[in-house]
Amino acid sequence: MWTWFHKLGSPPWMYRISGRILAILLPLTIAMLVVGAVWGLLYAPMDFKQGNSFRIIYFHVPASVVALAGYYVMAIAGAVSLIWRMKMAEVAMKCAAPVGAALTFLSLLSGAIWGKPTWGTYWVWDARITSMLILFFLYLGVIALYQAYENKEAAGKACAVLSLVGMVNIPIIYKSVDWWYSLHQPATIKFTEESTMHSSMFQPLLLMILAFYCLFTCALLLNMRSELLRRGASTSWVRALAGAR
Amino acid sequence: MHPVRKQRLILVCFIVVFSTLAVGLVAYGLRGNINLFYPPAEIAAGKAPVGQQIRLGGMVVEGSVRRDPQSLRVEFDVTDYQATVTAVYTGILPDLFAEGEGVVASGMLDDKGVLQATEVLAKHDENYMPPEVAEALANAHEEATGS
């Protein structure tokens, strides 16, 4: 049963499989993004209180959800690279950081744009927004820490430890609106009870969340492929690939 | 599992558990300071400092908004259904500010216990629905309560 795990660690196999996955997943992701955006921005009804400005939710919530999930991907990849010394996990960890940072930035930016017309301010130092800013700095920290080391093996270890320590922030972000008084409203999408959003608005939101998960996967795989080529520049499989072109 | 890997696995678990514990203790120690605002009950109980910039958060009491016809001065009561604090503000209110809705006002408490607000933010809830649904819900509620 461990053969797939060992195959996962092989750069040529991973490169080939990720190419096949991307050939299907990338067009699917773009289609879902277009359909979800048109559905949410044009066809979903407007909100009874916020009017049209609530439509920022179709980018804000998916970006935030996947920014949190992406951190778990990065931290778990870091743990695997620490325990099994698996190079592929280290590549995944390194490549997840910029994608997660971009999503976190999108979440903060869209939140600020949304905050002005609804709350009356771009920014407030409440628990949710501040912990999200910390998540952004954690992602940037992992990127910067990796660049800071000459020795890439030491860089991978240090980044894995940093991402594991930062993992405690994720449940804090998630529960911040329940634990403390904040300006940010509590979660609309609930796992244990019915979500407090009308289904005509909720369906496009679910589609956009799914699209952002796929977008994260695509961006991560594309990033990993270029990293694999860079690392394996002198190996035979990359040469064979370059020669075949 | 290989003993060396097992050792590393235990180490990873230690990192996660201890960092969670450390951050948890810090958050617990700072819990009063992480809150964005004081609810009216805490202000009424004298827990909020006087003469210092604070935030007050709660619901705007229905029918309590009193506007000055000559200026932008507005006065309203904020409640958490346990206590009520009055806030005074001069300026433009956010669009979502309304009676019966959430609000966060920052400013200083004067000696009469009135908040002299310098900024008023609207706090909206997590419910989203189309206007027609909201109207239907309101009608159904009126029929049910017979008002």
Its ipTM equals 0.85
Residues B27 and B45 grouped into a single domain: no
- Would you call B15 an interface residue with chain A, using a CB distance cutoff of 8 Å? yes
Scan residues 78-137 of B and list those with Cβ closer than 8 Å to A.
Answer: 93-97, 104, 119-135
Residues B21 and B41 grouped into a single domain: no
- Establish if B88 belongs to a structural domain: yes
Model confidence pLDDT, tens digit, residues A81-136: 999 888 999 999 999 999 999 999 999 999 999 999 999 899 999 899 999 999 99
Confidence of residue A27 (pLDDT cuts 50, 70, 90): very high
Burial B122-143 (b: 16+ CB within 10 A, else e): bbbeeebbbeebbeeeeeeeee
Whole-model pTM?
A: 0.90
Model confidence pLDDT, tens digit, residues A59-84: 999 999 999 999 999 999 999 999 98
- Establish if B128 belongs to a structural domain: no
CB contact under 8 A, A119 and B9: no
Dist. CA A20–CA B44, nearest whole Å: 65
**Contact list, B125 vs chain A (CB under 8 Å):** 185-186, 196
Residues B8 and B62 grouped into a single domain: no
Residues B26 and B41 grouped into a single domain: no
**Contact list, B123 vs chain A (CB under 8 Å):** 119, 183, 185
Instruction: Enumerate the β-bridge partners of residue B84.
Output: B79
Please give the backbone phi and psi of residue B79, each rounded to the nearest 5 degrees, phi first. Answer: -130, 155
- Establish if B65 belongs to a structural domain: yes
Of all residues in chain A, what percent carry a pLDDT higher than 70? 98
Structural domain harbouring B15? 3-32
What pLDDT was estimated at residue A224? Answer: 96
Task: Walk along chain B (147 residues) and give the pLDDT tens digit of each residue.
Answer: 788 888 889 989 999 999 999 988 888 888 778 888 999 999 888 888 888 899 999 999 999 999 989 999 999 999 998 999 999 999 888 888 988 889 999 999 988 889 999 999 999 888 888 888 888 888 888 887 765
What pLDDT was estimated at residue A245? Answer: 60
Residues B48 and B100 grouped into a single domain: yes
Dist. CA A81–CA A55, nearest whole Å: 40
Provide the H-helix boundaries in chain B: 3-29, 31-34, 40-44, 131-145
What pLDDT was estimated at residue B129? Answer: 87
- Establish if B147 belongs to a structural domain: no
Whichever domain contains B82, its CATH number is: 2.40.50.140
**Contact list, A198 vs chain B (CB under 8 Å):** 128-130, 133
Task: Report the residue of A119, A188, A205 to disrupt the B interface, i.e. the one with the largest count of B CBs within 10 Å.
Answer: A119
Model confidence pLDDT, tens digit, residues A192-239: 777 788 888 999 999 999 999 999 999 999 999 999 999 988 888 888
Q: Which long-range contacts (CB under 8 A, 24 or more apart) does A156-160 make?
A: A156/A81, A156/A90, A156/A93, A156/A94, A157/A81, A157/A82, A159/A78, A159/A93, A159/A94, A159/A97, A160/A78, A160/A79, A160/A81, A160/A82, A160/A90, A160/A93
Residues B114 and B42 grouped into a single domain: yes
**Contact list, A187 vs chain B (CB under 8 Å):** 126
Given CA atoms B21, B23, B25, B27 in this order, what sign does their dihedral have?
negative
- Would you call A188 an interface residue with chain B, using a CB distance cutoff of 8 Å? yes
Model confidence pLDDT, tens digit, residues A9-24: 889 999 999 999 999 9
What pLDDT was estimated at residue A51? Answer: 86
Residues B68 and B88 grouped into a single domain: yes
- In chain B, the number of structural domains is 2
- Establish if B135 belongs to a structural domain: no
What pLDDT was estimated at residue B120? Answer: 93
- Would you call A162 an interface residue with chain B, using a CB distance cutoff of 8 Å? no
**Contact list, A80 vs chain B (CB under 8 Å):** none
Residues B50 and B92 grouped into a single domain: yes
Residues B50 and B116 grouped into a single domain: yes
- Establish if B131 belongs to a structural domain: no
- Establish if B116 belongs to a structural domain: yes
Read off the tokens for A47.
């909100």
- Would you call B143 an interface residue with chain A, using a CB distance cutoff of 8 Å? no
Residues B19 and B53 grouped into a single domain: no
Domains and CATH numbers, chain A: 25-180+199-244 (1.20.120)
Average pLDDT on A27-39 reads 96
Judged by DSSP in three states, B134 sits in helix
Model confidence pLDDT, tens digit, residues B22-61: 988 888 888 778 888 999 999 888 888 888 899 999 999 9
pLDDT at A190 over 80: no
- Establish if B27 belongs to a structural domain: yes
CB contact under 8 A, B128 and A196: yes
Residues B103 and B76 grouped into a single domain: yes
- Would you call A168 an interface residue with chain B, using a CB distance cutoff of 8 Å? yes
Task: Report the residue of B128, B132, B135 to disrupt the A interface, i.e. the one with the largest count of A CBs within 10 Å.
Answer: B128
Q: How far is CA A151 from the centre of its chain?
A: 27
Residues B19 and B52 grouped into a single domain: no
Dist. CA B134–CA B145, nearest whole Å: 17
What pLDDT was estimated at residue A15? Answer: 93
Read off the tokens for A13.
């196999």
Read off the tokens for B127.
């419910």
What pLDDT was estimated at residue B146? Answer: 63
